[in-house]
Structure 1
Amino acid sequence: MDDLTEPEQRVWDAFPESRPTDLAGEPVRADVLAALALGVRPGLPGRTPAVRLFNARVTGLLDLSLATVPHTLVLVGCEFERAPVLDGARLPALTLVRARLPGLQAVGARIDGPLSLLECHCSGPLRLDGADVAGVLDLNGAELRGDPAIRADYLTVGRDLALRNAVVEGKVGLWNAHIRQTIALDGARLSSPGGVAFDGDGMTAEDGLFARRLESSGEFRLRDARLGRRCDLTDARLASPGRTALDAEALKLDGTLDMSRLTAEGSVNVSTAAITGALILDGATLRKPEGTALAAGLITVTAIRAVRGFTATGRVDVGGARISGSLVLDGAHISKPGGTALRAVDADIGGTLYLTSGFRAEGEVDLAGVSVRDGVDLGGARLVNPGKAALSASNLRTVREVHCCGGFRASGRVSFTSAEIGRDLCFDDANIDGDLELKRARSGILRLGERTKLLGKVDLRHASTDVLADFRDAWPATVRLDGFTYKSLHRPMPVADRLQLLASDADGYVPQPYEHLAAVYRATGHDGAARDVLLAKQRRRRGVQQFPQRAWGFLQDWTVGYGYRPQWAAAWLIALLALGTAVFAGHHPPPLKKDEAPAFNPFLYALDLLLPIVGFGQESAFAPRGAYQWLAAALTAAGWVLASTIIAGTSRVLARQ
């Protein structure tokens, strides 16, 4: 080139030896740089020529489109008048450090080494669609602005893509990009309010994504992304109010997703993600009051842990999740007043579900259909949803325990309808201000402790347990017990207390609870208690009968205790016999045939009147008059009544046995 300026001549002369040239802000034409990079001037023997330019002002357009560029460009502190164009070019490397440029276009470019824009200021789009960078793509500390700021769909990077501490205003688009090592966003600040700040849908980062202390205003997207080893969003701050802050639906991660101390204004969506490690949300704060703060439905993951101050304002949804380990929410606080705070419907948990150590939910905790291998622990949990369901665990299944004890508190309905619990269903020291529904539930042991407070109704219809371990004071004023069965009673309780419990059934007289309690007493050798229960059953039944049956029942009860008190019949017989003997001893009735009558015996005469079948020859031989005739008739009637009630009661008892 013959028309070089003095600064350009210096650059020209330095090129063969790859000497750095500092122009201190003087201009140099882009065409000169392009000519050197393209090899217009040969290098010196034994030396590698390169453009190494400092603090220059590059005028014109640096256009290397479709060119094969043999020499490296290193530009430090330079300012570009126009955005360089490298579409389809092939370069050994390109290094821009602390440069200022109105954009960079390298669509489909191939760079055999690193591409660096370290600490550069770019006021227009950085376009790298389909580019292939064999080395590191270094954007550390860069300030990028544009609409979008970075567009790099289908980008391929052979090593790391680094945006540490970068400031980006506008969308970062990496749709279907492939990064063979890591994406580093530690300390970066991304801003695209109301839009997408980072679009990594379908991208691959083989060694993971690291975005510790990231600040993102706008949606951060990783839908269908594939990440290896780890995705680290520790201490990150994501803001997309009223929308989705993190969208990682269908993410595939070969490692752990760590969002410890994450702050998200907007939903965090990891639904249908497949994560071979754990999902960690320790100390995270998620806010989407009007919707779902954490969407993890149908996720497949080793474990989910959200402890040490985890807070979610809005629903936490892990419905249908497949968790091979435990779901741990100890000490977490989830707030969705009047709605569903925690939804784990049909989740499959291979370990334990922990909701302990001060776990608090404002809104419903829905565990319907959950399968938990190692049990559920709600010890010390606080569930608040007044007038509605506080805990719904219908059809829950576990071979281990469910602990609603150790200070468990619920304001609202608690339901374990049709749940199947292999061991304890424990309510020791629980306080439930609402109904407790255990319809059709099955458990190994049902525990109600001395300090259990159940302030609503308890519904145990058709529930079953092997062992009922309860205290009378634990039961509320109203229960429903029809069909409730148990094999044994762990703690002795006076029969009167058991009967008082049965009498509090909201459905009125229900025979099955009495029959079953009596059967349990008989099976454990408490025959007297069994008779007391069955007698109480007949008395309760009498209250719902029509008058004739009720009168007959009262007579049976009064005389022989419905057959369960046969000694009462003997007492009545002795008393009536004594009365008859005493009366007729002082007033002998006249004989019917004076010459044929046997000697009068008042005892045998009274006994003959009372016994309706057996005769002693006294009743037929004498005929009392007046009031004594009425007394004789009364004794005869009493004998028939006693005989009838004894036969009826005995038949009932024998038929039962």
Structure 2
Amino acid sequence: MTPAERQVWNAYPSGAWIDLRSSDAEGNRAANGAEWGSERQVRAEVIAALLTGAREPDPGKIPGVRLAGAHIIGDLLLSDAEVRDKLHLLNCYLPGVVHLTDASTQGLRFRGCDIHRIRAARSKIDGVFELDGSTVRTGLRLDNAHITGQLRLSRAFVSSPPPHKRATESAFEDMGHPYTEEDLKERFLGQQPWALWAGGLTVDGGAFMRGLRTEGGLRLIGATLNGGLYLQGAELRAAGDLALFGDFLEAKTAEFSANFKAEGGIRLRGARIGGVLSFDRAELSAPTRSLHLSHMQVDELIMMPKSIKGEVNLAYSRVGVLFDNPSSYPDRVHLNGTNYESLRGTWTVAERLDWVCRDPGGYRPHPYEQLAAWYRRIGHEPDARRVMLAKQREHRATLRPTGRGWGRMLDAVVGYGYRPWQAAVWAGVLLTIGTVVFGIHPPTQIDPDEKRTFSSFVYTLDLLVPVSLFEQRAAWEPAAGTQWLAWSLIASGWILATALIAGTARVLRPSNPP
């Protein structure tokens, strides 16, 4: 053994720290580890031997490998191992691969380290798995792993593996046998490289990734993060379309806030968030879809990003409280099937109406019905009627020419039944015109022997009512110049009555609540 290895070997039974760092702070940075001399080099096989029982612990002591400022030579091979003691590396340089596949370990800490790659698929880590401030240069695999404590990646930098490296490893891990290089290229052509591959990951104590930076996305499909996901201030740069792929993720809370940045889409289709999902002060950008949150369930969704480029999909999601503002959304928003219990924010009705009509697929009835239902629940019936009127107007554009014509007439006369007072206005205008015109040019009495007193107001009103109530029509014959007005009043009366009945029936028609 080298002197450094002997120190580590002797310190293991008591778990004492071995610090190989120099007095030069800049030289102690793990990124400079390749320049360190042999006095700071420790073979990975020595560490693996200690962690797998090569030495007995001192009585009354807690054994473990605690090492600072070391250059770890070779791959750390702990796959399938049962490690009962803790490994704590500080400012260490690991140019090889840390193999933890199918391992069962105690807490693992790599703080401020520079690591080539970590493979820990299906591992069980009883405690904390920490990479705070570390750099992982070719990806971190935690698919189907179980961490009973916390996953810590705060202020870390993780980069995805190059395509050939990713294909070679996956050929053995996923396909079961080696393939030729051409087979591998064909098999993985077009697949997105991931900085963190963690589908099916379970973390009991929460995933803390504040200030994390990545070159490549996070793959968290089906992950269960019981303590929540915390990405405040993180910067995710996708190597493909997605910066985070988290379909069916389950978490207590999820924070993409406090200047969180994503270059690539955030996809959480079918996710279950038991508390708050926050995009407060986030910067989101993607060529097509920046947020895909469809079929999701969340107690509270905070949509207050600093900026967002790319469409948002909230279709068929169930949201308890939606807290947003007028500038929260891009021009394309999918809201069909979205249900929410409460809306919070500084919106006007006009801004909400502009929000619900941004579906790229065109008119959808459900967003209007859901918005109107919410206004009714809070006692704003006039606003609910305004929303439903806007719905009918949008729907009209999808009809055939005859339907659009009838719709425009209903809109103009009674506002599709949501503005019945418009019929009264029209009736008042026509009644005034008829009263004035027939007052100036009174009609001729049909039966001169019958004694009647002419009233232009009553005569006009009798013409407007579809069924004669005052027996004025049969008693008076309009003068030739006013015959057209009489006919127009009779026709207008029928139109007003028909539109009022049709509009009222539309409003009163029972429908299932959204």
TM-score range, shorter chain: 0.7 to 0.9
- 224, 233, 238: which one aligns with 1:385: 238
* Corresponding residue number in structure 1 for 2:273: 421
Distance in 2, matches of 1:568 and 1:185, equals: 85
Given that 1:278 and 1:303 are in contact with CA atoms closer than 8 Å, whether structure 2 keeps it comes out as yes
Distance in 2, matches of 1:222 and 1:441, equals: 47
- 645, 649, 652: which one aligns with 2:499: 645
Distance in 1, matches of 2:300 and 2:373, equals: 19
Distance in 2, matches of 1:375 and 1:466, equals: 18
Structure 2 residue 260 is the aligned partner of structure 1 residue 408: yes
SS at structure 2 position matched to 1:250: coil
Structure 2 residue 443 is the aligned partner of structure 1 residue 443: no
The alpha carbon displacement at 1:653 in A equals: 1.4
Structure 2 residue 112 is the aligned partner of structure 1 residue 283: yes
The alpha carbon displacement at 1:394 in A equals: 1.1
Residues 103-182 of structure 1: pairs in structure 2 closer than 5 A:
163-164=6-7
* Corresponding residue number in structure 1 for 2:129: 304
Residues 318-357 of structure 1: pairs in structure 2 closer than 5 A:
318-336=142-160, 339-356=193-210
The alpha carbon displacement at 1:310 in A equals: 0.3
Given that 1:219 and 1:239 are in contact with CA atoms closer than 8 Å, whether structure 2 keeps it comes out as no
- 606, 628, 637: which one aligns with 2:482: 628
In structure 1, the gaps of 5 or more residues are 1-138, 143-161, 167-179, 189-211, 288-292
The alpha carbon displacement at 1:634 in A equals: 0.8
Indicate the structure with greater helix content. Answer: 2
CA change 1:284–1:570 in 2 (3 A) is same
SS at structure 1 position matched to 2:509: helix
Structure 2 residue 434 is the aligned partner of structure 1 residue 608: no
Residues 83-94 of structure 1: pairs in structure 2 closer than 5 A:
none
Distance in 1, matches of 2:431 and 2:497, equals: 14
What one-letter code is carried by the residue in structure 2 that aligns with 1:318? L
* Corresponding residue number in structure 2 for 1:557: 411
Residues 8-157 of structure 1: pairs in structure 2 closer than 5 A:
none
Structure 2 residue 101 is the aligned partner of structure 1 residue 271: yes
The alpha carbon displacement at 1:599 in A equals: 2.0
Given that 2:15 and 2:66 are in contact with CA atoms closer than 8 Å, whether structure 1 keeps it comes out as no
SS at structure 1 position matched to 2:95: strand
Distance in 2, matches of 1:364 and 1:380, equals: 15
The alpha carbon displacement at 1:623 in A equals: 1.9
The alpha carbon displacement at 1:471 in A equals: 0.2
- 280, 284, 300: which one aligns with 1:432: 284
Query: Any runs of at least 4 consecutive aligned residues in structure 1 with deviations exceeding 4 A, and if so which?
Result: 139-142, 162-166, 180-188, 217-224
- 315, 321, 325: which one aligns with 1:461: 315
* Corresponding residue number in structure 2 for 1:261: 91
Distance in 2, matches of 1:215 and 1:224, equals: 14
Aligned residues: 451
TM-score normalised by length of structure 1: 0.65
Given that 2:41 and 2:73 are in contact with CA atoms closer than 8 Å, whether structure 1 keeps it comes out as no
Once the two structures are superposed, what CA deviation does each residue of 1:548-582 show, in whole Å capped at 9, x if it has no partner? 11110010111111111111111111000000111
Structure 2 residue 78 is the aligned partner of structure 1 residue 248: yes
Distance in 2, matches of 1:465 and 1:452, equals: 21
Given that 2:19 and 2:69 are in contact with CA atoms closer than 8 Å, whether structure 1 keeps it comes out as no
CA change 1:187–1:595 in 2 (3 A) is closer
Distance in 1, matches of 2:417 and 2:434, equals: 25
The alpha carbon displacement at 1:185 in A equals: 13
Distance in 1, matches of 2:193 and 2:445, equals: 91
Greater RCO structure (CA 8 Å; 6+ sep) = 2
CA change 1:605–1:140 in 2 (3 A) is closer
Given that 1:250 and 1:271 are in contact with CA atoms closer than 8 Å, whether structure 2 keeps it comes out as yes
Deviates further, 569-578 or 229-238: 229-238
Distance in 1, matches of 2:303 and 2:448, equals: 76
Distance in 2, matches of 1:187 and 1:386, equals: 37
Distance in 1, matches of 2:85 and 2:341, equals: 48
CA change 1:140–1:640 in 2 (3 A) is closer
Residues 406-555 of structure 1: pairs in structure 2 closer than 5 A:
406-434=258-286, 435-449=290-304, 451-555=305-409
TM-score normalised by length of structure 2: 0.82
Given that 2:17 and 2:66 are in contact with CA atoms closer than 8 Å, whether structure 1 keeps it comes out as no
Q: What is the aligned-residue RMSD (CA, Å)? A: 2.8
The alpha carbon displacement at 1:622 in A equals: 1.5
Deviates further, 380-389 or 480-489: 380-389
Structure 2 residue 42 is the aligned partner of structure 1 residue 215: yes
* Corresponding residue number in structure 1 for 2:64: 230
In structure 2, the gaps of 5 or more residues are 21-38, 58-62, 162-191
Indicate the structure with greater strand content. Answer: 1
CA change 1:233–1:186 in 2 (3 A) is closer
CA change 1:386–1:551 in 2 (3 A) is farther
Given that 2:314 and 2:333 are in contact with CA atoms closer than 8 Å, whether structure 1 keeps it comes out as yes
Once the two structures are superposed, what CA deviation does each residue of 1:311-350 show, in whole Å capped at 9, x if it has no partner? 0111111111111111011000011276100122111111
Structure 2 residue 212 is the aligned partner of structure 1 residue 359: yes
Given that 2:51 and 2:85 are in contact with CA atoms closer than 8 Å, whether structure 1 keeps it comes out as no
From the CA coordinates, give the structure whose radius of gyration is larger. 1
SS at structure 1 position matched to 2:69: coil
Distance in 1, matches of 2:250 and 2:217, equals: 19
The alpha carbon displacement at 1:260 in A equals: 2.4
Given that 1:580 and 1:606 are in contact with CA atoms closer than 8 Å, whether structure 2 keeps it comes out as yes
Distance in 1, matches of 2:204 and 2:270, equals: 20
Distance in 2, matches of 1:584 and 1:414, equals: 70
The alpha carbon displacement at 1:221 in A equals: 5.9
* Corresponding residue number in structure 1 for 2:227: 374
CA change 1:646–1:259 in 2 (3 A) is same
Structure 2 residue 509 is the aligned partner of structure 1 residue 655: yes
Distance in 2, matches of 1:589 and 1:344, equals: 89
Distance in 2, matches of 1:600 and 1:418, equals: 74
